[in-house]
Amino acid sequence: MNSALTRRTKLTRTWIVILMIWGIALCGTAVASAAPLAPAIPPGAEASSHFDVAVATDAWLSQFSGPARKNSDSYFEGGYWLILWDFLATVAVMLLLLETKASAWMRDFAERIARLKLFQYWIYFIELVLAATVLTFPLTVFEGWVREHTYGLSNQTFGAWLSEQLIALGLTLVLGGLAFSALIAIVKRLPRTWPAWGAVIALLFVTIGAVIAPVFIAPLFNTYKPLENRVIKNQILSMARANGIPAHDVYEVDASRQSKRVSANVSGLFGTGRITLNDNLLARCSPQAIMAVMGHEMGHYVMHHIYNRLMFAAIQIVVMFSLLRWGLDKLVGRFGGRWRLLSPTDLAAAPVAILILTILGLLLTPIQNSFTRTQEYEADIFGLNASRQPDGEAEADLLLGEYRKLDPGPLEEMIFFDHPSGRTRITAAMRWKAENLCLFDPALPCESVSVAAKGPSSR
Ligand SMILES: [Zn+2]
């Protein structure tokens, strides 16, 4: 997911993130000069009789060094801190709404102006989202606009950025409001068994969101059109046919409207599933890198990663809702009087629920990241086998290094990375190359003798 670090706990964007089940940023930044015709293979990474995975990996990694590498590391490490600031901001805002009894007031107001229960829930949700949006606005501006510009990753004027924030807010108020009202109705009607039924409803909304996102939501932010470059398109469709993917079109999106990052993704479900690559990718990557990226995206499709993600989300939701019910009973039992809450299932207890879910979300971050990172690694391996472009893969991984730290420690990667690090990915690509050297030089054997003799290479 594209820089999930900075978004996770932002209330206004949470629903958009969930709904879009967004992939899979793969390449790098800055729409620069024309795309290279082939990957510029560094000395040490060419196919040869003494090809060595570790040496080839380091050769690729050394291509991105100096101040640019420092800048990228600093950007990505700043993201670790943003997890903490987002968490603290959410906790502070929810405690403020409870301690000032504003939440109870918002409930009373909703009940006064609407007769129908469902409308009361919806009005309360609107009040809550607007309050949280206003209170966290300075942090949102810093995170979404100032910081992106400081690191040279954004193309947007403040006005354009703000108008997208307003569209996202509108979507949250409508779609999030629908889901919230349905959930509250279940909680009220089934106070004992709502964690199970609530999970069913939540999953239903996530699934509907995933189906409609590419058709109705994504076009609100960008223009999608079938890929125009016929040569690239034919190569991509050929690879799709070879892997049993019934694709007739590949889509191109004008991501350069917002950012300089290069990316591609698979989105949608059932009939709305599609593969999209962005214009930055087309402008900056060699055809080999584009094929490696597309092979990766096809891996997500063939291995049903979106469905697996939904199943994983279902398990997470059931566990979180069960803990949520327990936490609500405890906290509302203890502080309900002070916060003017009537019961654990009171509408005005929503900030308590958000507080608990935010804490659980923070604790689950490494597990969530490890789940998606594992899928991404699987897609990398599929992509290498499908595209047979290890150098294209390394080229793309290096471009990614412009906004994702290339060479973290193992624990750092486990906790904070929702995609494998550049080093992990390039190592996998060079390992694949070592066992397929004859594809790159017919005079070489099809497996690397030096690697076979040394045993499997790590990192
Ligand atoms: Zn991916």
For 391-444, the pLDDT digits (tens) are 999 999 998 888 889 999 999 999 999 999 999 999 999 999 999 999 999 998
- DSSP of 86-154: HHHHHHHHHHHHHHTTHHHHHHHHHHHH--SHHHHHHHHHHHHHHHHHHHTHHHHHIIIIIHHHHTT-B
Q: How far does residue 291's CA lie from ligand 1's centre (Å)?
A: 13
pLDDT tens digits, one per residue of 281-298? 888 889 999 999 999 999
Q: How far does residue 105's CA lie from ligand 1's centre (Å)?
A: 45
- What is the structure's pLDDT at 381? 98
Q: How far does residue 175's CA lie from ligand 1's centre (Å)?
A: 26
- What is the structure's pLDDT at 208? 86
Higher pLDDT, 262 or 384: 384
- The reported pTM is 0.84
- DSSP of 360-408: HHHHHHHHHHHHHHHHHHHHHHHHHHHH--HHHHHHHHHHHTTTS-SS-
Q: How far does residue 127's CA lie from ligand 1's centre (Å)?
A: 37
- What is the structure's pLDDT at 357? 96
- What is the structure's pLDDT at 95? 97
pLDDT tens digits, one per residue of 19-29? 333 333 333 33
Q: How far does residue 211's CA lie from ligand 1's centre (Å)?
A: 18
Is the confidence at residue 459, as pLDDT, over 70? Answer: no
Q: How far does residue 256's CA lie from ligand 1's centre (Å)?
A: 20
Q: How far does residue 375's CA lie from ligand 1's centre (Å)?
A: 7
Q: Poorest-confidence range of 86-100, 248-262, 346-360?
A: 248-262
Residue 274 three-state SS:
strand
Rounded mean pLDDT of 207-214? 82
Which pLDDT band holds residue 275 (cuts at 50, 70, 90)? confident
- The alpha carbon torsion through 157, 163, 169, 174 (nearest 10 deg) reads -150
Handedness of CA 291, 297, 301, 303 (dihedral sign): positive
- What is the structure's pLDDT at 449? 60
Q: How far does residue 301's CA lie from ligand 1's centre (Å)?
A: 10
- What is the structure's pLDDT at 34? 61
- Where along the chain do its domains lie? 7-35+63-223+299-356+396-404
pLDDT tens digits, one per residue of 86-139? 999 999 999 999 999 999 999 999 999 999 999 999 999 999 999 999 999 999
Q: How far does residue 303's CA lie from ligand 1's centre (Å)?
A: 11
- What is the structure's pLDDT at 14? 39
Q: How far does residue 352's CA lie from ligand 1's centre (Å)?
A: 35
Q: How far does residue 24's CA lie from ligand 1's centre (Å)?
A: 4
Report how far residue 63's alpha carbon sits from residue 216's, in angstroms, rounded to the nearest whole number.
40
- What is the structure's pLDDT at 272? 67
Which pLDDT band holds residue 153 (cuts at 50, 70, 90)? confident
Which pLDDT band holds residue 246 (cuts at 50, 70, 90)? confident
Q: Which of 93, 307, 317 is nearest to 199 (CA)?
A: 317
Rounded mean pLDDT of 326-337? 95
- What is the structure's pLDDT at 29? 35
